[in-house]
Structure 1
Amino acid sequence: MGYVLQTTVDAKNNIPVDYKITNNNDKKATGNMLRRAKTILRTSFFTALYDKGYHTGSELAVADTLNIPVIVAIPPFSGASHAPNLNYDTEHFDYNPKNDTYTCLQGHTLSTTGYWHKVKNNADEVAYRFKNYTTPLCKTCAVRPLCTKSAVNGKQVRRSEFAGSIENNKKRVRNSEKLYKRRQAIVEHPFGTIKRQWEFNYIITKKFYRKS
């Protein structure tokens, strides 16, 4: 069994505010550490920075509920998630929250039946829900080969129940690049200091020789 050390470090002095050792991975750590930080600091008036390993919709939603702005690096999409032409990826479609519809680059409206599909995790628990958005116009669209790999149903856009929180984080990431670049210097510093105090100030390297 592996263990993970989660820490909260302040940006002004690079001093750890909190730590917790768990056997859970980073994807489910954000919300709990934010709650603890809010209790310790007695305020939600701070911004939390996380690397891409913490990017999970449900945890971003917890941050929004706590009214704590977070900036979580966005992991790259897998190849299977992309359209044949990247310009037609779903991120370039416009979402209309009032009508709960999407508008594609050709101006077509993608709507949903309102049914929530469920995605379960390895423990057979519901990890999150999503709705599908489609349009019958996709089947006769001139740019269909550029937009979707589906030969039957056409383009399907999935919108997670946590999409709003994911989009809010994306905006903060886009507008706070300079701030986010400080993350590594803030949070990694205490670990370097501890290692140095323990005289772990060198690494062992191995050299491999290959016969030609």
Structure 2
Amino acid sequence: SIARYLEAMDTADRQEPAIAKARTARLQDKIAALKEQMRSLKEIEVQLNAAPDKQVSLTDPDARSMKTRGTGVVGYNVQTAVDTKHHLIVAHQVTNDGIDRDQLASMARLARTEMGVDKLTAVADRGYYKSEEILACHEAGISVFVPKTKTSGATADGRFSKEDFIYDAEKNEYRCPAGERLIWRYKTTERSLKLDRYWSSQCQQCSLKDKCTPSTERRVTRWEHEGLLEEMQVRLDLAPDMMRIRRQTVEHPFGTIKAWMGATHFLTRTIGRVSTEMSLHVLAYNMKRAIKLLGSETIMKAMRA
């Protein structure tokens, strides 16, 4: 833009003196404004590079980019736990983590504490699928239903997925769609996860290789707690209505509260104030829900008691 304005100033110099003076003054003001903007952006760049997550929000210092469908949204990630019987919000939390994968165990434990129960079954969508979180729930005695994320490149390319390889726990090996054995080869650690690798020596001669892998052999990786994920998948297969129940349960309060909030959504700034604002919304929702379930007279008697 500055280069374009400098060219325009050269053109203005060839005009009548009065016109040239007016145009040059206006263009110099624009160039000065751009240089000031560049200086400001340099300062923001320093802040950006210093930030741990490489993000800076000029509207709200605590807000962060959320992973959403379509256009990105800078804001907050509100987590809720809703009971399936009465659709009351039993626990909620406001975070500025843009994804849900790290929220499953903490929200499930918070919901169990708020409900005052020893055992809990938690249902979440596939955005919460993370091996470590599912393990944490298991260790806390919480049974979870979370569908696996569809990220397999093999499946996308029309090849066999990992689910087509059947694990034999007694032999500690896999059986491939062609009936060959994928035997254990070695252990490794990735992202603090202990993994085992399996493959067969017969892949080069296999008639199904084109449907299996473009590599020399098809390798299968197994996490040390993979059995927990397989058990959860069996629970999902035996309870196909779980995802429908999830939609009918947790989406209803979100839809209601968003309708109340309108297009502006949160009116406050910084995570502390936003958390307070969300708590008021949750309180209002739960009170209206309780009045709907029990009646206003019963609620008033309970509040006076």
Answer yes or no: is 1:12 the counterpart of 2:77: no
CA distance in 1, matches of 2:177, 2:240: 28
Which of 163, 169, 178 aligns to 1:106? It is: 178
CA distance in 2, matches of 1:180, 1:75: 14
User: 1:41-190, aligned counterparts within 5 Å?
Assistant: 41-78=115-152, 80-82=153-155, 86=159, 88-118=160-190, 120=191, 126=192, 128-150=193-215, 152=216, 154-190=217-253
Counterpart of 1:184, as a letter, is: R
Cα distance, 1:75–1:156 mapped onto 2, change above 3 Å:
same
CA distance in 1, matches of 2:150, 2:85: 30
Uncovered stretches (5+) of structure 1, i.e. residues with no partner:
121-125, 202-212
CA distance in 2, matches of 1:44, 1:94: 35
CA distance in 2, matches of 1:172, 1:63: 15
CA distance in 1, matches of 2:254, 2:218: 47
Aligned residue for 1:193?
Answer: 256
Aligned residues with identical type, % of pairs: 29
CA distance in 1, matches of 2:167, 2:213: 18
CA distance in 2, matches of 1:44, 1:141: 51
Alignment RMSD (CA, Å): 2.4
Aligned residue for 1:35?
Answer: 109
Provide runs of 4+ in structure 1 moved above 6 Å: none
Superposed CA offset, 1:134-159 (max 9, x none): 11122222322222111x3x111111
Cα distance, 1:84–1:33 mapped onto 2, change above 3 Å:
closer
Cα distance, 1:188–1:82 mapped onto 2, change above 3 Å:
closer
Q: Is the 8 A contact 2:187 2:194 kept in 1?
A: no
TM-score (norm 1): 0.79
Q: Is the 8 A contact 1:83 1:146 kept in 2?
A: no
Which of these two proteins has the greater Rg computed from alpha carbons? 2
Uncovered stretches (5+) of structure 2, i.e. residues with no partner:
1-62, 65-75, 264-305
CA distance in 2, matches of 1:83, 1:18: 37
Higher helix share: 2
> What SS does the aligned partner of 2:137 have?
helix
Q: Could you say which structure has the greater relative contact order, defined with CA pairs below 8 angstroms and 6 or more residues apart? A: 1
Superposed CA offset, 1:31-59 (max 9, x none): 11112122222324332110111011111
Cα distance, 1:83–1:108 mapped onto 2, change above 3 Å:
farther
Number of aligned residue pairs: give it: 191
Counterpart of 1:163, as a letter, is: E
Deviation at 1:84, TM superposition (A): 6.0
CA distance in 2, matches of 1:136, 1:195: 56
Deviation at 1:162, TM superposition (A): 3.6
Deviation at 1:196, TM superposition (A): 4.2
TM-score (norm 2): 0.57
Q: Is the 8 A contact 2:188 2:195 kept in 1?
A: yes
Counterpart of 1:188, as a letter, is: E
CA distance in 2, matches of 1:77, 1:195: 30
